[in-house]
């Protein structure tokens, strides 16, 4: 639609210029045909230049979009890496806390065997969770 409007505008401008030039030039048929041909070629050249410029602008917009997507993906990756590191640190602190609780309780004899098993099970689950998070972190770091 834009191209059509641009072409229509260029044709109108060129025909108005043609009428202005016709009044100044003699009415020789070969001269009129030559002038009309020159004007036609000029209009075609202008339209082609406008199309080329539109293509360049479209390519630039696509490049900008692609760069924006890449930047967003990098930011998302950084956030994921930070989140995994935070989870790993949190889990290791929790493991240390549970181990000290288990050691103190078993040393003082305050923990029942059932409570000791529960704590050991929690520690085991957290160790597994930490190992999985470390694997995910190494995969994220490879990206």
Q: How many domains does the chain have?
A: 1
CA angle, 8 as apex, 27 and 47 as ends, to 5°? 90
Report the percent of the chain where pLDDT is more than 70. Answer: 84
pLDDT, one tens digit per residue, over 89-103 is 999 999 999 999 999
- DSSP at 26: -
pLDDT at residue number 53: 96
The boundaries of the domain holding residue 47 are 2-142
Residue 4's pLDDT is 72
Contacts of 1 (CB under 8 A, 6+ apart): none
What residues in the chain have per-residue pLDDT under 70?
1-2, 5-8, 10, 13-28
Give the Cα separation of 135 and 143 in Å (integer).
Answer: 13
The pTM for the full model equals 0.59
User: What is the distance, to the nearest Å, from the Cα of residue 56 to the centroid of all Cα atoms in its chain?
Assistant: 20
61-73 pLDDT tens trace: 999 999 999 999 9
């Amino acid at each position: 639609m834009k191209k059509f409007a641009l072409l229509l505008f260029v044709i109108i401008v060129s025909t108005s210029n043609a009428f202005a030039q016709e009044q100044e030039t003699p009415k020789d048929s070969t001269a009129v045909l030559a002038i009309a041909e020159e004007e036609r070629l000029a209009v075609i050249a202008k339209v082609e230049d406008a199309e080329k410029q539109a293509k360049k602008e479209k390519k630039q917009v696509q490049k900008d979009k692609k760069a924006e997507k890449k930047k967003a993906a990098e930011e998302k990756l950084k956030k994921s890496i930070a989140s995994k590191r935070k989870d790993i640190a949190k889990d290791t602190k929790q493991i240390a806390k549970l181990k000290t609780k288990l050691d103190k309780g078993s040393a003082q004899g305050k923990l029942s065997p059932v409570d000791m098993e529960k704590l050991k099970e929690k520690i085991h689950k957290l160790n597994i969770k930490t190992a999985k998070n470390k694997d995910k972190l190494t995969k994220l770091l490879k990206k």
